């Protein structure tokens, strides 16, 4: 049985842990607000881009459709991009994304497909390198960038385009965590190549007029599609960021509550024990006095 | 004069400008062009350059890079990878 001093120390250490988790919780809450705002302000661009592409894609079809839109026609070589955070202490945030990606990778490997992996975020690399070290192409670390923005998304998009053009990938899928709410983040696969034309984007009503393109429709589509990949990655990174802080907030909230429960039960034990000790001492004194 | 043109300039990071204006001049890859309300629908890539927004007596300029202009009956939208306002001067 622990001595009173040991118990006091224990309570003290749990209390300081609680202070840390509480601080992290508040920091995450503040950062979550910012990440959410950022994700929201990026939405108009992504939406507009999706509807423009849907518009263009409807007009371009058949063999002359750009490969980024139509795919290579094969489905043998898969490139999987897994985006997580660089840090832990966020509950199941990182492991959920990694698990979803791992399931997909395993199915693909079982199906005899070639799989290559790009890891975005340290945790993604750590989680995947152990199992698929030979398939890992490259790791991007988000901590190289102070804020998430185009400079963070562009190198990833460039690398994907490079892999695709070199014929090392037929299908490119991005795994990230979609921010549904503060308490719910959903690991989501998103197909980057061939481009998924958003079905929910409303078609532009032209009132019977005909669109004019400058330069040609194909040329516009060809410059627009690589940009769309960047946009999609950026949007995913923003969502990831918001999800991370949401998950961290939840995890730290739990941890703070657990620490509180632990402090309560330890304090109770400590008080009982102290009381028992006082009682024993009193009995000893009284017994000693009676013996005289 | 016809109604006003609904114009929005968006970059991946935020919406830079949004509102009703009289006229927008933009640098297309095949030549500069101006858009008024009820322009015929068309789409073009943009050069790196300056987008000028005219509204009443006001004039605002934005530096854009890597963009597209999309004119629909609903208005003009410019998507630019980078967009920032040029300080009036």
Domain ranges, ordered by start, for chain A: 21-252
Confidence of residue A244 (pLDDT cuts 50, 70, 90): very high
All residues of chain A having their beta carbon less than 8 Å from the beta carbon of residue B17 are: none
Q: What mean pLDDT comes out for the span A252-273? A: 95
pTM higher than 0.90: no
Averaged confidence pLDDT in chain B: 86
All residues of chain A having their beta carbon less than 8 Å from the beta carbon of residue B29 are: 214-215
Q: What mean pLDDT comes out for the span A141-168? A: 83
The residue that leads in pLDDT, A204 or A184, is A184
Task: Tell me how close the Cα of A238 comes to any Cα of chain B, in angstroms.
Answer: 10
Question: What ipTM does the predicted assembly reach?
Answer: 0.76
Closest in A41, A210, A230 to B15, CB measured = A41
CB contact set of B45 (below 8 Å; sequence gap of 6+): A214, A215, A219, A220, A223, B28, B29, B67, B68
What pLDDT is recorded for position B29? 86
Q: What mean pLDDT comes out for the span A240-255? A: 92
Q: What is the pLDDT of residues B14-38, one digit of tens each?
A: 888 889 999 999 998 888 989 998 8
Selected residue of A34, A54, A212, A216 to mutate for chain B interface (largest B Cβ count, 10 A)? A212
Range of B65's domain? 5-86
Counted domains in chain B: 1
Whether residue A37 lies within 8 A of chain B, CB to CB, comes out as no
The answer to whether the CB atoms of B73 and A48 lie below 8 A apart is no
CB B34 within 8 A of CB B44: no
All residues of chain B having their beta carbon less than 8 Å from the beta carbon of residue A42 are: 12-14
Domain A21-252, classified CATH 3.40.1180.10, yes or no: no
Confidence of residue A64 (pLDDT cuts 50, 70, 90): low
Averaged confidence pLDDT in chain A: 86
The answer to whether the CB atoms of A205 and B77 lie below 8 A apart is no
- The domain that holds B73 is classified in CATH as 2.60.15.10
Confidence of residue A203 (pLDDT cuts 50, 70, 90): low
């Amino acid at each position: 049985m622990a001595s009173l001093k040991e118990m006091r120390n224990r309570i003290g250490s749990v209390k300081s842990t609680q202070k840390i988790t509480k601080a992290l919780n508040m920091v995450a809450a503040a950062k979550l607000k910012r990440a959410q705002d950022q994700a929201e302000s990026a939405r108009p661009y992504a939406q507009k881009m999706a509807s423009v592409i849907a518009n263009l894609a409807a007009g371009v079809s058949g063999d002359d459709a750009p490969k980024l839109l139509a795919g290579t026609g094969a489905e043998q070589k898969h490139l999987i991009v897994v985006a997580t955070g660089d840090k832990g202490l966020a509950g199941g945030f990182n492991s959920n994304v990694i698990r979803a990606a791992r399931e997909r990778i395993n199915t693909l490997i079982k199906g005899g497909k070639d799989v290559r992996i790009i890891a975005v975020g340290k945790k993604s690399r750590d989680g995947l390198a152990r199992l698929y070290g030979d398939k890992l192409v490259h790791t991007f670390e988000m901590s190289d960038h102070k804020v998430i923005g185009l400079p963070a998304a562009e190198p990833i998009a460039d690398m994907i385009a490079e892999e695709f053009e070199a014929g090392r990938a037929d299908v490119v899928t991005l795994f990230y965590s979609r921010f549904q709410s503060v308490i719910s983040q959903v690991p989501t696969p998103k197909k980057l190549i061939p481009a998924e034309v958003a079905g929910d984007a409303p078609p532009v009503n032209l009132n019977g007029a005909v669109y004019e393109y400058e330069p040609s429709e194909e040329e516009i589509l060809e410059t627009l599609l690589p940009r769309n990949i960047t946009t999609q990655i950026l949007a995913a990174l923003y969502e990831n960021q918001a999800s991370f802080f949401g998950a961290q907030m939840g995890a730290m909230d739990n941890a703070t509550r657990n620490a509180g429960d632990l402090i309560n039960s330890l304090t109770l034990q400590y008080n009982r024990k102290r009381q028992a000790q006082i009682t024993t001492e009193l009995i000893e004194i009284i017994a000693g006095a009676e013996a005289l | 004069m016809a109604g006003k043109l609904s114009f929005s300039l968006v970059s991946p990071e935020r919406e830079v400008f949004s509102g009703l204006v009289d006229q927008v001049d933009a640098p297309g890859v095949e030549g500069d062009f101006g858009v008024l309300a009820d322009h015929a629908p068309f789409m073009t890539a943009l050069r790196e350059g300056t987008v000028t927004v005219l509204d009443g007596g006001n004039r605002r300029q934005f530096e854009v890079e890597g963009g597209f202009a999309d004119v629909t009956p609903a208005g003009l939208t410019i998507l630019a990878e980078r967009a920032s306002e040029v300080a009036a001067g």
